[in-house]
Amino acid sequence: MERAASKARLAHRAAPADHDGIVIPTLLLPGLIAGFLPKGWIFVIVAALGWPILLVATGVDSGWAFFLDAGALAAANAAVAWSVGLAIRFVVGQRRR
């Protein structure tokens, strides 16, 4: 019985999710907007903690390795988007002068 439950969990993890294409834009768009805020870097920290908590809470996966990997990916995505937002803000500010 326990072996069947373990196989079912592995099959669930291997099955493609319905929301595969939504993950990166979910973090990039708020990160881009945060680039225009005075303390937008805080969003990177919130994304690094909030995204893995959301994934574990919704049952996508579990375990420390998954939590740390998801947090690192979320922080990287949010940091890139935040940096692009800062660059846009800088370029627009330079053009106004």
Confidence (pLDDT) at 60: 84
Q: Which residues does 9 contact at the CB level (< 8 Å), separation at least 6?
A: none
Which of 66, 53, 64, 50 minimizes the C-alpha distance to 13? 66
Confidence (pLDDT) at 37: 87
pLDDT tens for the chain, 97 residues long, are 566 655 555 555 545 555 555 566 778 888 888 888 888 889 999 999 999 999 899 888 888 998 999 999 999 999 999 999 999 989 988 787 6
Confidence (pLDDT) at 87: 92
Ramachandran bin of 16, using left for φ above 0, alpha for ψ from -120 to 50, beta for the remaining angles = beta
Confidence (pLDDT) at 23: 62
Confidence (pLDDT) at 94: 79
User: Based on the number of CB atoms within 10 Å of its own CB, is 28 exposed (0-12), middle (13-18) or buried (19 or more)?
Assistant: middle
Is 24:80 a contact under the CB 8 Å cutoff?
no
